[in-house]
Chain A
Amino acid sequence: AQKVTQAQTEISVVEKEDVTLDCVYETRDTTYYLFWYKQPPSGELVFLIRRNSFDEQNEISGRYSWNFQKSTSSFNFTITASQVVDSAVYFCALSENNDYKLSFGAGTTVTVRA
């Protein structure tokens, strides 16, 4: 069963628009970790954020912000005032208690048009 669901396959926006990427996860563990990664067209995977299940505080880093809600098992990611350089595939991932591996969602392709 898919542990991480990214229902949006592709999102296309015009520069300066905000874009929110949804991530819904499934786990029975009380301790778990959530991650977001960016994969630009060049292909590398870039770590963006790690969150543990006990920390529901939202986080902001520049134009990026994350909204973690345990009640809905969601860890959504918003890019504010998008730029062309934000065009990439974004992956949400889950790591459950004492498990080293990352279970990735299918990814959301974001295209920002000038």
Chain B
Amino acid sequence: DTAVSQTPKYLVTQMGNDKSIKCEQNLGHDTMYWYKQDSKKFLKIMFSYNNKELIINETVPNRFSPKSPDKAHLNLHINSLELGDSAVYFCASSRPAGGPYEQYFGPGTRLTVT
């Protein structure tokens, strides 16, 4: 059984389009995250939700909007895609408060903007 899943795995689209990436976890975790990995493999947090509440919102263009319909799902919608948005986007989840617990990552979504 997949613990953290993301769809799609690959996404190729043109500049200016709007796209969404979906994430689901079946670990019973309350906290979910989005990370961006750039072409140099550098990983950076974008957003985090705890029990459907936004708790981390790093300096990310407001073209990026996370949505958490329930604590098992965290989606990422990107408007007006730009070339610089090309990256691998990882979803992750962890247990909630009580200490930063290890995060379990999804397989990643490779976004290519042409």
Q: How far is the CA of A52 from the CA of B102 in the complex (A)?
A: 11
Count of chain A residues near B, Cβ 8 A: 22
- Looking at chain B's contact residues, the main secondary structure is strand
Q: How far is the CA of A76 from the CA of B52 in the complex (A)?
A: 35
- Looking at chain A's contact residues, the main secondary structure is strand
B residues bordering A, Cβ < 8 Å? 31, 33, 35, 40-45, 48, 50, 55-56, 58, 88, 90, 92, 94, 99-108, 110
Q: How far is the CA of A84 from the CA of B45 in the complex (A)?
A: 30
Instruction: Report chain B residues within 8 Å CB of A95.
Output: 100
A residues bordering B, Cβ < 8 Å? 33, 35, 37, 39, 43-47, 50, 52, 89, 91, 95, 99-104, 106-107
Asked, given contacts A100-B48, A101-B33, A106-B41, whether A47 binds B102 with beta carbons under 8 Å apart, the answer is: yes
Q: Are B42 and A104 in contact (CB under 8 A)?
A: yes
Q: Which of B99, B103, B110 contacts A102, CB < 8 Å? A: B103
